[in-house]
Structure 1
Amino acid sequence: MFKFIPLLILAALTNLCSRNETAWAYGGADRLWDLQEINGVPFPATTTLSFLDAETIAIQGPCNRITASNTVPYPWVTLTIISSTKMFCPDLQYEKSLTNALIRTTIIEILDDVMILSNTENLNMVFIAAD
């Protein structure tokens, strides 16, 4: 009987190591997040963010849909753009500022219906859950 204990311990450790530690597991999943403001200024164009899975984030900007990956553990975030559509619209200037802000984020906080993407250089993006 005691010879099975090491196998049980190994199985438990393997399960803990494979657990998702990204923002998806800490309240980000299964919600649509509406961008409200960047650095205290209301964002003038409709923008939403959603977590497609543990490592993939979809952003519907004012003009284009952006897909990004995040593989670092919560509360850290490093968004790497995977793909983006290339549509033109009158709000393209806002989308450029949005994309620049997203790739500069390094910290994510999810507090109930509020999600904040920020960095240590005074960037602060506030999202509110749409559901």
Structure 2
Amino acid sequence: MTKLPLAAAALATLLAACSTSDETLSGFTDPETVWTLTELDGAAFAERMSLQFPEPGRIAGQAPCNRFSGALTVPYPWFGTSPLAATLMACPDLEAERAVLEALGAMTEAEVSGPVLILRNSDLGREMVFKAEGQT
């Protein structure tokens, strides 16, 4: 008779664990990894731009001028974010920042392969390639 309550408790624990799992890109990357943009639409990206996925369902990063953050809104391998919140500092690279944040907002797919993260929008022919810092 005690086996049934024990099985029910185990099932409840398993279901609770499943309901809190992170199915967004952040659940497939290490929260400590800093991803640095190396290519934008097939061309080398010279300015500094980085991403992190610091906690479940969240994205944060440093664009050429400002820090930004937001929520991830779709499960991996899809990619989408809520409107991103950003600081409002001025700098000489604001045009590059506008371009990179616009590109990030257009991405719809994600692929993580070892030290490489690729965000793309196949319909628009756009792609962002990131490398994990400290890895080759």
TM-score (ref. length: structure 1):
0.91
- 1:116 is paired with a residue whose SS is strand
1:7 alignment counterpart: 9
Could you tell me how far 1:14 is from its partner in structure 2? 2.1
- 1:52 is paired with a residue whose SS is coil
Name the CA distance, whole Å, in 1 between partners of 2:58 and 2:116: 19
Question: Pairwise mapping of residues 5-84 of structure 1 onto structure 2 (< 5 A)?
Answer: 5-84=7-86
Name the CA distance, whole Å, in 2 between partners of 1:12 and 1:28: 23
Could you tell me how far 1:33 is from its partner in structure 2? 0.7
1:125 and 2:116 matched:
no
Amino acid at match of 1:64: N
Q: Is the 8 A contact 1:79 1:105 kept in 2?
A: no
Could you tell me how far 1:28 is from its partner in structure 2? 4.4
Could you tell me how far 1:82 is from its partner in structure 2? 3.7
- 1:14 is paired with a residue whose SS is helix
Worse overlay, 35-44 or 23-32:
23-32
Amino acid at match of 1:105: M
Query: Percent same amino acid at aligned positions?
Result: 32
Could you tell me how far 1:52 is from its partner in structure 2? 1.7
Which blocks of at least 5 consecutive residues in structure 2 are unaligned?
none
Q: Is the 8 A contact 2:73 2:82 kept in 1?
A: no
Aligned with 1:92 (options 71, 91, 94) = 94
- 1:57 is paired with a residue whose SS is strand
Amino acid at match of 1:39: D
Q: Is the 8 A contact 1:114 1:127 kept in 2?
A: yes
Q: Over the residues paired in the alignment, what is the CA RMSD in angstroms? A: 1.5
Which blocks of at least 5 consecutive residues in structure 1 are unaligned?
none
TM-score (ref. length: structure 2):
0.88
Q: Is the 8 A contact 1:31 1:130 kept in 2?
A: yes
Amino acid at match of 2:83: I
Which structure dedicates a bigger proportion of its chain to strand?
1
